[in-house]
């Protein structure tokens, strides 16, 4: 379920990774306009899965990295590890019977 805070968290994750990678909003020009990237970073819009994939490609990270940072809500190693552990447990439970 997506909430406004999830959208804001995705935008913050996108901006954090973009900044750490020393990329500008203009570096996404082939993918989308600077205005669109700015809109995402401010949490005004939410991207589709295919757009997340494209953004991650420009950033040079796996799409799940962006999503993990967004759902961690506090981009630090402990918070992201907890999200990854939760997903791992859920996946193990889903595939346990298979």
Render each residue's pLDDT in the chain as its tens digit; 98 residues: 345 576 689 999 999 999 999 999 999 887 778 889 999 999 999 999 999 999 999 999 999 999 999 998 777 889 899 999 999 999 999 998 65
Per-residue exposure over 56-95, b if at least 16 CB sit within 10 Å of its own CB, e if not: bebbebebeebbbbbbbeebeeeebeebeeeeeeeeeeee
Tell me the pTM.
Answer: 0.84
The CATH architecture of the domain made up of 4-95 is Orthogonal Bundle (1.10)
Hey, where are the domains in the chain?
A: 4-95
């Amino acid at each position: 379920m997506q909430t406004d805070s999830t959208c804001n968290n995705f935008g913050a994750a996108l901006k954090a990774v973009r900044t750490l990678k020393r990329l500008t909003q203009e570096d996404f020009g082939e993918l989308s306009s600077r205005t669109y990237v700015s809109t995402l970073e401010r949490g005004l819009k939410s991207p589709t899965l295919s757009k997340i994939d494209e953004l991650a490609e420009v950033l040079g990270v796996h799409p799940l990295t962006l999503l993990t940072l967004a759902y961690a809500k506090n981009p630090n190693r402990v918070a992201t590890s907890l999200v990854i552990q939760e997903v791992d447990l859920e996946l193990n439970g889903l595939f346990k019977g298979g």
